[in-house]
Structure 1
Amino acid sequence: MNRARSDLTQASVSASLSQAVLHAASRLGLGREALMEQCGFDPAQLSDPDARIPFATQERLWQALSRLPLSEPGLAVGSNLAPGPFSVLGYLLQSSATLGEALAAALRYQRLVGEGGEVQLLEREQELQLLYRPLHPDLPATRTRVLALMACWVQMFQPLLAEFRPLRAQFVHDEPADLAPYQAIFPCPLQFAADDYGIVLPRALADAPLIQANPPLQSLLRQHAEALLARLPSEGLSARVVVLLGEQLARGEPDRQQLARSLALSERSLQRHLAEEGSSYQQLLNDTRRQLAERYLQDGQLPATEIALLLGYSEPSVFFRAFRQWSGMTPGEYRQRHARQDS
């Protein structure tokens, strides 16, 4: 399900993001030229905002920033980042009609910013969970990098939404001794030792209009974003189909024709290309549903009937039959077994 590349030697980030992080570091008192030399940046790489920088190069920059004599360097960097670090994506988000539309664009075009992790959007009961899952969470500078990203999210959306009131901000690491840097940025309760980094919003906020909505500008930005996305190395059709299926399922039964159109393919071409990769649409749909079903059941928060709806089934009974075929158990039996194993 993860779109992020597993090989750090292939992952890359946008030059515009690197420029913005260097600018934020300068505002915090670090010398830009010395920092570039220390981290191995080629000045020519930064001249084109649409160019790409190896993730490993930028990781050295985050490592240098993590050594700043501050309580939480990532939050300090993030509070000094402007929308520019996201280049075309940042402006695309700001010109969206609603928050939900902006988040959908963030999911589709996130690779334009970088491949150091994956943004995910989960809808659970009355919550809209905007999560970030880093590619290699054990890297020493991951905490600094992710906190900077989360702070930047808040900095971007606060001015655009009249009712920007997160339900909570959550962090994978344990609660630090000094909460002041967190409280200064996140206007909500804080949760530490969580499963994922993320900001949780009221689900109703997805329909909230953005102050800077500009449909004509957004149309132009989307065209540019699509062109940039096409220039990135391909992830393989199967991986792209899985991502689109995950987005469609929460809205009901997936539409194969619509999915094919979003990939600029006919249904027949979609099936042929998937077969060349040793897969099929139905297999990917079944695998995606099974993985999501197991995750929801292990979480233990949602009733099986609601999970059926989240997986795009019109009737819970259809989901129950499918799950029994996958696992040899009913959803209830699977959940009980998982709970016993945890205990």
Structure 2
Amino acid sequence: MAKHPFDSPHTSVSASVTLAVLRAASQLGLERNELIRACGLSEELLNDPDARIPFAAQEQLWQCLSRIEHAEPGLALGEHLAPATFSVLGYLLQSSPTLGDALLAGVRYQRLAGEGGEIQLHEHGDELHLLYQPLHPELPVTRTRVLALMAGWVKMFHPLLDNWHLLRAQFVHAQPPSLDSYTHVFACPLQFGASDYAIVLPKHLAGAALTQGNLPLQNLLRQHAEALLARLPSESLSARVVALLGEQLARGEPDRSELARHLHLSERTLQRRLAEEGCNYQQLLNDTRQQLAEQHLSSGTLPAAEIALLLGYSEPSVFFRAFRQWTGLTPGEYRAQQKAG
């Protein structure tokens, strides 16, 4: 079995997310202090919004929560999750101009919330699939955790979008005896025994404006999110460089010497160690810019000139030339092609 990208000794979850889960559990009548003791946590750690909780401790918490007297404990908990308590990520998603922008931000910054699985966003014809591949899918407790996450997605986006609706919701597990809690939360056709956990939306909703959209605020939050992302432990130097590049791009043209200092390396050592991983700084910078540019153009509505600024280009014309070198198309042609597709 392939190793999951987040499955490492450093795997962790945001203390803010853990706190949100505990608050939801308290609303369902569970004793908060007992839950904290059961998973070996402390109030001091939970009250630090930038602290991280070992994923093993978080799984112990979900183990306790799976015993809630409810047909589906995860759905009951998910309905009581408050998205704003997810710290910078929650506010970043809610301030996004469109649903597509929010979903892209959720995918890019998902590690800030936790590393218990991987969120992916895929287009299939007229459908947009937001799916989740959890760590340890074979464990019974994973069902509770994933259902809470999926219900949390619905709770977050429903009030932010005037015409929010799902085409269907997909679940890996078999169909349960009662579907009442599922139909109440998702209000759409349900598919069980699927290959992935996912909610499926109409593709056109990606361009729908969010009621709390605030682009200047989102840009500030994005810079903060990039800085937090860069601090998380990573399996490889190249992954850390990509995260740091994302932070620098939000502030302007990246600085290789500053990046090397942040990693406590000389520029020569940085180049050598990247070469050992089969890549180099300029390649990572170009790949990061291209990936972010294609994401913005495919699912967002930002003008190309604003995308150029987000990618650290001082002049839009420089971005246009670079994008044509990457894809053979102008940004406008690429966006039109994606919409036509």
User: Which band: TM-score by shorter chain?
Assistant: 0.7 to 0.9
3-state secondary structure, aligned to 1:191: strand
Instruction: Give 1:117's aligned residue.
Output: 117
Q: Structure 1: how far apart are the matches of 2:179 and 2:241? A: 41
Q: Structure 1: how far apart are the matches of 2:199 and 2:3? A: 19
| 2:228 is the counterpart of 1:228 | yes
Instruction: Give 1:6's aligned residue.
Output: 7
Give 5+ residue unaligned stretches, structure 2: 257-266, 288-325, 329-341
Deviations 1:71-108 (A, max 9, x none): 00000000000113421111100000001100111011
8 Å contact kept, 1:13–1:114: yes
Question: For structure 1, which segment, 217-226 or 168-177, has the greater mean C-alpha deviation from structure 2 after superposition?
Answer: 217-226
Deviation at 1:50, TM superposition (A): 1.4
Q: Structure 2: how far apart are the matches of 1:100 and 1:274? A: 33
Instruction: Give 1:334's aligned residue.
Output: none
Deviations 1:238-297 (A, max 9, x none): 557999xxxxxxxxxxxxx99x9689477x999876422135769xx9xxxxxxxxxxxx
Instruction: Give 2:301's aligned residue.
Output: none
Q: Structure 1: how far apart are the matches of 2:67 and 2:146? A: 15
Q: Structure 1: how far apart are the matches of 2:80 and 2:96? A: 23
Q: What is the TM-score when the length of structure 2 is the normalising length?
A: 0.72
Deviation at 1:204, TM superposition (A): 1.0
Which amino acid in 2 is paired with 1:6? D
Deviations 1:184-237 (A, max 9, x none): 100211010000001011111111110100112112211211111121113425
Which amino acid in 2 is paired with 1:220? L
Instruction: Give 1:47's aligned residue.
Output: 47
3-state secondary structure, aligned to 2:169: strand
| 2:34 is the counterpart of 1:17 | no
8 Å contact kept, 1:17–1:84: no
Which amino acid in 2 is paired with 1:204? H
3-state secondary structure, aligned to 1:4: coil
Change (3 A) 1:192 1:132: same
Change (3 A) 1:271 1:123: farther
8 Å contact kept, 2:10–2:233: no
Deviations 1:292-335 (A, max 9, x none): xxxxxxxxxxxxxxxxxxxx988xxxxxxxxxxxxxxxxxxxxx
Which amino acid in 2 is paired with 1:28? L
Instruction: Give 1:128's aligned residue.
Output: 128
Q: Structure 2: how far apart are the matches of 1:131 and 1:274? A: 32
Q: Structure 1: how far apart are the matches of 2:173 and 2:126? A: 25
Which amino acid in 2 is paired with 1:132? Y
3-state secondary structure, aligned to 2:143: helix
Within 5 Å, which residues of 2 pair with 1:278-297?
A: 278-279=278-279
Change (3 A) 1:5 1:188: same
3-state secondary structure, aligned to 2:140: coil
8 Å contact kept, 1:78–1:149: yes
Change (3 A) 1:202 1:175: same
Change (3 A) 1:22 1:278: same
Give 5+ residue unaligned stretches, structure 1: 244-256, 286-311, 315-343
Q: Structure 2: how far apart are the matches of 1:240 and 1:139? A: 30
Q: Structure 1: how far apart are the matches of 2:255 and 2:276? A: 15
Q: Structure 2: how far apart are the matches of 1:274 and 1:168? A: 43
Instruction: Give 2:304's aligned residue.
Output: none
3-state secondary structure, aligned to 2:187: coil
Superposition CA RMSD, Å: 3.1
3-state secondary structure, aligned to 2:278: coil
Within 5 Å, which residues of 2 pair with 1:260-299?
A: 264=254, 274-279=274-279
Which amino acid in 1 is paired with 2:225? A
Which amino acid in 1 is paired with 2:175? E
Instruction: Give 1:186's aligned residue.
Output: 186
